Structure 1
């Protein structure tokens, strides 16, 4: 999708992608880089990409994205439930690459305080420490990261913010209930942020993926093999590229007049309001 003068549509733009060492986050970073953006690739741990066999280190991921797409990248480490870490990430990105034009807040997950999925993981039995961990990792991190990046965008009166939610936000469920609540909260925070930032000409949108073929998804679930087809049916598990294409729309020229929206990417698995 080149512009009329031959330049890539995001050439000169600076993007921060959180949780970008593997899975969806890496696909988002790759997509934005392929469109010409320089990218700050965030992770909590340097060896995070190796956890599910999707890479070695965050540094190696950043180097690969730069080499493959001919853009500038940096890797930034930090805990997005801590405001001081987020401020350092934003400052490092701005100093190394430039002011942030695009934020894709992807970091999150249904992860217990001690790691892995909470157990029990239902609405009544989940432990308090796991409730706090899931809410902080998903909802609090979204609020704090968006706040830190939005301030600079408001000063410049431009920018794009894309949050990554989940179809879990739109349906009552026994298992993974606190994760669903956290994603519902971040979805509505996205709408509230879009309303506040509209006078500053900053677009804010949310993508809500369904089941998506990442290393973590495949490594933590029993997967129905009939749903692994990549084309030909809507009743299947999405590829990371199919979700990344929507990031391209919200972050690029095609999304210039779109804000405050929540778009499910689930092959129509949920076809009702929410």
Structure 2
């Protein structure tokens, strides 16, 4: 089978796919013949860092470029009822989901942007709740909504996106790192529960990754961007190719795993 048809006939949801890593994953899966549900909380989310206009624009571009069915959807994943409705809406328009890649999240406080202060002691309670909602609870609610149908069909694959921040101490971005650690442990537990139903559940933990948001919010030394070695920032395609492994036949017997995409480096300070 040609690579272009590797995922022909399959359907995937990629949350937070209007821009950044999520968009790269969605585009890579579309290039392999997979139908895609583009998701975001806000219709104009892709425009925030200059990566596009609207969610619909992203869907239209992928559909035109790769000739697969692509639809855009808006939902706030920290609301379990809204998340359940999202999955029902996707499956009504595209069909039963084969894969769900849970990418939505970030170190985002209650008012947007990074919490300030953002340490272990000083971070405000409302920001603690927002960061846990955006990363951990949104993952739990989406996994629950997706897994119900996959259990009935006794097939499927779920991939959560964690972070290398889950594995190292973070004096700054402490709650974010804790939320991503929670995602890792939940992923492993879910994998055990869904094993009898032939559903794989894995996590990808990227290190610093070159997205428009990353470049806009950090002062990154040029030597960390493109130096031809492992001592650099990851490219979004390097995360997307790991997704391909997990959803292809190569990953059929791989579940409950967490794969770091960081060139064997540590997570650099946020």
Where on the TM-score scale, by shorter chain, does this alignment land: which range? over 0.9
Query: Take 1:133 and 1:236, find their aligned partners in 2: how far apart are those partners?
Result: 30
Q: What are the ranges of 5 or more consecutive residues in structure 1 without an aligned counterpart? A: none
Query: Take 2:115 and 2:228, find their aligned partners in 1: how far apart are those partners?
Result: 35
Q: What are the ranges of 5 or more consecutive residues in structure 2 without an aligned counterpart? A: none
Matched ranges for 1:137-176 at <5 A: 137-176=134-173
Query: Take 1:270 and 1:51, find their aligned partners in 2: how far apart are those partners?
Result: 28
Query: Take 2:249 and 2:93, find their aligned partners in 1: how far apart are those partners?
Result: 25
- Deviation per CA, 1:72-100: give whole Å up to 9, x if none: 01100010000121112101110101011
1:234 counterpart residue number:
230
Shift of 1:2: 2.1
Is 1:116 the counterpart of 2:117 in the alignment?
Answer: no
Instruction: Name segments (4+ residues, structure 1) moved above 3 Å.
Output: none
Per the alignment, in what secondary structure is the counterpart of residue 218 of structure 1?
A: helix
Is 1:36 the counterpart of 2:70 in the alignment?
Answer: no
Is 1:61 the counterpart of 2:64 in the alignment?
Answer: no
Shift of 1:270: 3.9
Give TM-score scaled by structure 2 length.
Answer: 0.97
1:214 counterpart residue number:
211
Is 1:247 the counterpart of 2:243 in the alignment?
Answer: yes
Is 1:201 the counterpart of 2:190 in the alignment?
Answer: no
1:93 counterpart residue number:
90
Shift of 1:252: 1.2
What CA RMSD, in Å, does the superposition of the two structures yield over aligned residues? Answer: 1.2
User: Number of residue pairs matched?
Assistant: 267
Per the alignment, in what secondary structure is the counterpart of residue 123 of structure 1?
A: coil
Per the alignment, in what secondary structure is the counterpart of residue 209 of structure 2?
A: coil
Query: Take 1:83 and 1:238, find their aligned partners in 2: how far apart are those partners?
Result: 32
Is 1:75 the counterpart of 2:76 in the alignment?
Answer: no
Give TM-score scaled by structure 1 length.
Answer: 0.96
Per the alignment, in what secondary structure is the counterpart of residue 215 of structure 2?
A: helix
Shift of 1:268: 0.5
- Deviation per CA, 1:188-236: give whole Å up to 9, x if none: 000000000001010000000000001111111111111111x620000
Asked if the contact 1:19–1:107 (Cα under 8 Å) also holds between the matched residues in 2, the reply is yes
Query: Take 1:80 and 1:219, find their aligned partners in 2: how far apart are those partners?
Result: 25
Shift of 1:167: 0.1
Query: Take 2:221 and 2:266, find their aligned partners in 1: how far apart are those partners?
Result: 19
1:268 counterpart residue number:
264
